[in-house]
Amino acid sequence: MADTSTPDVVHHTYDVLVIGAGGAGLRAAIEARMRGKRVAILSKSLFGKAHTVMAEGGIAASMGNANPRDNWEVHYRDTMRGGKFLNNWRMAELHAKEAPQRVWELETYGALFDRTPEGKISQRNFGGHQFPRLAHVGDRTGLELIRTLQQKIVSLQQEDHARTGDYESDLKVFHEFTVTELFKEGDRIAGAFGYRRPTGEYLCFHAPAVVLATGGIGKSFKVTSNSWEYTGDGHALALRAGARLINMEFVQFHPTGMVWPPSVKGILVTESVRGDGGVLKNSEGERFMFRYIPDVFREQYATSEDEGDRWYDDADNNRRPPELLPRDEVARAINNEVKEGRGSPAGGVYLDIASRRTTEFIRKRLPSMYHQFKELADVDITTEPMEVGPTCHYVMGGVEVDPDTASTVVPGLFAAGEVAGGMHGSNRLGGNSLSDLLVFGCRAGAGAADYLDGLAGVPAVTDEAVDAALAESEKPFSVRGEENAYTLHQELQQTMNDLVGIIRRADEMEMALKRLAELRDRIPRVGVTGGRAYNPGWHLAMDLRNMLVVSQCIAMAALERQESRGGHTRDDYPAMDENWRRELLNCSLVEGPEGPQVELAHQPQPAMRSDLFDLFELDELKKYYTGDELGGHRADQGV
């Protein structure tokens, strides 16, 4: 029974708590509910506003509607290549195999994807995918995904209403609710604690299974395409509950985000601008990318502006312009131009299509970009250049999970979606995020239900734990305003952006860790004004500790990994090192003399199952693997 001994806290009891209401959380909740569990969804924002709505391109799934040669094996290979073979291969396998089913079932929930002439789901091309593979709805696929899942939740609530007379008897959404702490009894999860944003009221949930589906960490960086919620809450909750984070050094930066005006800093500018003729220029008007063609690409890229310009009309007889180098190369070049003082006033470079294409062409080919700049920035991209720079986009790292059940090392704790780590290795392919949410959201819901079926006795939440969580949340009210939460947040973002950003160096990351340690001392001194009801200053004060610990994990792992791979680029170790492919870095929280400290450890990457290994040609594997790892390949087994 719910313990009511703490008067200021309202208690609820559920089978499964799902923290987060994006694609992964909603899919997990649907699965757990359909397996007969009573489920509460705890959502930091309003129901239906999750960051998933920001996804544009599509959902990668090898349905083979556009090209019948596509299948899960091709998708698997593409995913592993994209992640530079650091991916958890079992996750990549499950993802590639199950994505089509997860997309098709969305249609039974009412989703309306764009269609092929045969009436099937249309699929589009995307970077790194060998065949057209992304199910999409124009450029608003994420919105379609979230709305479809939201409406499926409602549909299940209607079924419950017909049976019990109560829409919320078996599946309830607590929206604008922030979880601040997880509870355990012994090793096992027992519940969660948090507050209702509108009222500031504290709630304690008694539940033996918790699914983390809180998304990413982008708000630790100054320039990001991520929305307000992305403060690493799930990453931090998992750490504090005793779970491990892996691959935290891998953060994806997209080379072209908007940087000016400030109101839109970080919003993505599609690669199609460059694909359709846009060029990058520095403050001196120089098309600087020609100075940044690395040796390995020298054969494939144009060395003069004339040749690059001819490529758009005659790709067979000319080489590509260097604006179309891989994303990490372009991001690195932009970063260097700005560092050397040739940036634009707002700290980016210029992306110019206005001087190169007609107004009609731009408006026809890039309607959403035209609209985005016109509405948000008052910039007419048909007459003026855009200002762009790298923007923090996605974290590959996250909570370490068992691929099949999405369970963590903490019994009763599960994680799915961006908050989970491993699936994407060192770099995620476009389109693989939405499919990840569905595949592993579903598996997490099923994993939680199975865990409950095998559970002997329900772990209990103690009064002491509730009192401690309550006291922690109340702290900012008793501190008398020495530090301002908004100021500290800006300093944290500046530190991560400048020192652990797109290009990293040992001395800078050491400096970042020093500044983070200082922030760690200052955050407890943040005071807030006003009451508990919808008080953003208070909320930020609580979010700061999550952003801090996640930032420490990123900086420590990034300092440790002495190579460049995917979303981790070291100025001082610019090459990929096959020995590092076998190494994963994990972060955990250990009790130290001054409270809990992040501890970094190495762990080996499990060897790929032989039938999956054999899906690749030996020559390709040689680029990534050490010689002694290649022995088991089919080519070596003397046919």
Looking at the Cβ atoms of 120 and 356, the one nearer to another protein is: 120
Name residue 13's beta-bridge partners: 206
Minimum CB separation from another protein for residue 377, in Å? 6
Is 254 in the active site? Answer: yes
Rounded Cα–Cα distance for residues 209 and 459 (Å): 10
Is 274 in the active site? Answer: yes
For 329-391, the DSSP string reads HHHHHHHHHHHTT-S-TTSSEEEE-TTTS-HHHHHHH-HHHHHHIIIII---TTTSPEEEEEE
Listed in sequence order, the residues at least 6 apart from 517 whose beta carbon sits closer than 8 Å to its beta carbon are none
Q: Which amino acid is at 277?
A: G
Peptide bond into 261 cis (omega under 30): yes
Contact pick of 77, 81, 95, 147 for another protein (by CB under 8 A): 147
Which window, 127-135, 330-338, 466-474, 536-544, contacts another protein (CB under 8 A)?
536-544
> Which strand ranges, in their side-by-side order, compose the sheet holding 251-258?
251-258, 386-395, 349-352, 279-281
Helix (H, G, I), strand (E, B) or coil at 575: coil
Minimum CB separation from another protein for residue 537, in Å? 4
Residue 367 engages another protein in binding (rule: CB under 8 A): no
Two tokens, residue 597 = 């400290």
Residue 172 engages another protein in binding (rule: CB under 8 A): no
Which window, 156-164, 302-310, 506-514, 549-557, contacts another protein (CB under 8 A)?
156-164
Binding to another protein by CB under 8 A, coded x per residue (else -) over 408-447, reads ----------------------------------------
- For residue 307, give Cα distances in angstroms to 276, 286, 314, 463, 483: 15, 16, 10, 72, 56
Contact pick of 29, 60, 66, 137 for another protein (by CB under 8 A): 137
Annotated catalytic residue, options 196, 235, 274, 443 = 274
Residue 201 engages another protein in binding (rule: CB under 8 A): no
Which window, 90-98, 126-134, 179-187, 535-543, contacts another protein (CB under 8 A)?
535-543
Helix (H, G, I), strand (E, B) or coil at 637: coil
Annotated catalytic residue, options 254, 515, 539, 565 = 254
Minimum CB separation from another protein for residue 487, in Å? 7
Rounded Cα–Cα distance for residues 545 and 608 (Å): 37
C-beta neighbour count of 475 within 10 angstroms? 14
- For 21-82, give the secondary structure using H, E and C: CCHHHHHHHHHHHHCCCCEEEEECCCCCCCHHHHCCCCEECCCCCCCCCCCHHHHHHHHHHH
C-beta neighbour count of 46 within 10 angstroms? 12
Strands 349-352 and 279-281: antiparallel
Which 249-288 positions form the footprint of another protein (CB under 8 A)?
A: 260-264, 267
Contact pick of 125, 130, 405, 484 for another protein (by CB under 8 A): 484
Residue 533 engages another protein in binding (rule: CB under 8 A): yes
Minimum CB separation from another protein for residue 630, in Å? 38
Looking at the Cβ atoms of 204 and 267, the one nearer to another protein is: 267
Residue 389 engages another protein in binding (rule: CB under 8 A): no
Which window, 16-24, 409-417, 482-490, 567-575, contacts another protein (CB under 8 A)?
482-490
Two tokens, residue 300 = 């494939």
Looking at the Cβ atoms of 5 and 108, the one nearer to another protein is: 108
For tokens 């067979």, the residue is 316
Residue 63 engages another protein in binding (rule: CB under 8 A): yes
Which window, 50-58, 206-214, 234-242, 551-559, contacts another protein (CB under 8 A)?
50-58
- For residue 639, give Cα distances in angstroms to 57, 614, 617, 636: 43, 13, 15, 8
Contact pick of 15, 31, 98, 144 for another protein (by CB under 8 A): 144
Q: Which amino acid is at 144?
A: E
Strands (E), 513-594: 583-592
Contact pick of 13, 228, 467, 505 for another protein (by CB under 8 A): 228
Strands 188-196 and 202-206: antiparallel
Which window, 15-23, 126-134, 151-159, 319-327, contacts another protein (CB under 8 A)?
151-159
Contact pick of 35, 104, 336, 361 for another protein (by CB under 8 A): 104
Task: Report the sign of the C-alpha dihedral through residues 244, 249, 250, 256, in that order.
Answer: positive
Contact pick of 10, 71, 534, 582 for another protein (by CB under 8 A): 534
Residue 375 engages another protein in binding (rule: CB under 8 A): yes
Helix (H, G, I), strand (E, B) or coil at 490: helix
* Closest residue by Cα to residue 210 from 35, 408, 36, 52: 408
Binding to another protein by CB under 8 A, coded x per residue (else -) over 286-305, reads --------------------
Minimum CB separation from another protein for residue 279, in Å? 23
Contact pick of 143, 458, 460, 576 for another protein (by CB under 8 A): 143
Contact pick of 10, 536, 578, 629 for another protein (by CB under 8 A): 536
Q: At how many degrees (to 10) do helices 141-164 and 89-108 cross? A: 70
Residue 140 engages another protein in binding (rule: CB under 8 A): yes
Which window, 207-215, 227-235, 272-280, 316-324, contacts another protein (CB under 8 A)?
227-235
For tokens 């008897």, the residue is 169
C-beta neighbour count of 467 within 10 angstroms? 14
Residue 48 engages another protein in binding (rule: CB under 8 A): yes
Which residues are tagged catalytic?
254, 274
List of residues contacting another protein (CB under 8 A): 45-49, 51, 53-54, 63, 100-101, 104-105, 107-110, 112, 114-115, 117-120, 122, 137-138, 140, 143-144, 147, 151-152, 154-155, 157-158, 161, 167, 198, 227-229, 260-264, 267, 375-378, 484-487, 490, 528-531, 533-538
